[in-house]
């Protein structure tokens, strides 16, 4: 497992990542469905056909959601959008880790 895969797993499985998506939704005024699309784009990747099948929507509808998300976040590509999500959520994850270290409590990523 390489470093990118480890970071991806650490980010995606953390409670901070889930909380981040809620703030991301509010920050960019995303609809519930756009938030679902963004989460799938970030976590799963894949092509439009696979994503549209997972969401049970037409590919054209998925493309419209992606276009709306890119417009609202002022990104130009899916890669740029994913980078925005990972960068922001990684920063929140690190901030949370350091907060817990200062409090000398068990790190949140070890809590179950």
Give the count of alpha carbons within 13 A of 92, CB side only. Answer: 20
In terms of pLDDT, which residue wins out, 23 or 51?
51
CA distance 28 to 50: 25
- Write out the DSSP string of 8-28: HHHHHTSHHHHHHHHHHHHHT
Alpha carbon 5 to its chain centroid, in Å, reads: 15
DSSP label of 76: S
Helices (H), the chain: 3-12, 15-27, 32-43, 48-55, 59-73, 78-103
Q: Please choose, from the candidates 80, 74, 69, the residue with its C-alpha nearest in 3D space to the C-alpha of residue 29.
A: 69
- Residue-wise pLDDT for 61-96, tens only, equals 999 999 999 999 999 998 898 888 877 777 666 776
- Residue-wise pLDDT for 2-19, tens only, equals 555 665 666 666 666 667
């Amino acid at each position: 497992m390489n470093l990118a895969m480890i970071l991806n797993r650490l980010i995606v499985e953390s409670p901070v990542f889930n909380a981040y998506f809620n703030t991301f939704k509010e920050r960019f005024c995303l609809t519930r469905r756009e938030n679902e699309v963004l989460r799938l784009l970030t976590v799963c990747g894949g092509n439009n056909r696979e994503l549209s099948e997972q969401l049970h929507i037409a590919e054209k509808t998925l493309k419209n959601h992606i276009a709306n998300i890119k417009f609202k976040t002022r990104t130009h590509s899916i890669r740029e959008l994913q980078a925005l999500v990972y960068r922001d959520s990684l920063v929140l994850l690190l901030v949370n880790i350091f907060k817990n270290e200062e409090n000398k409590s068990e790190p949140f990523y070890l809590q179950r």
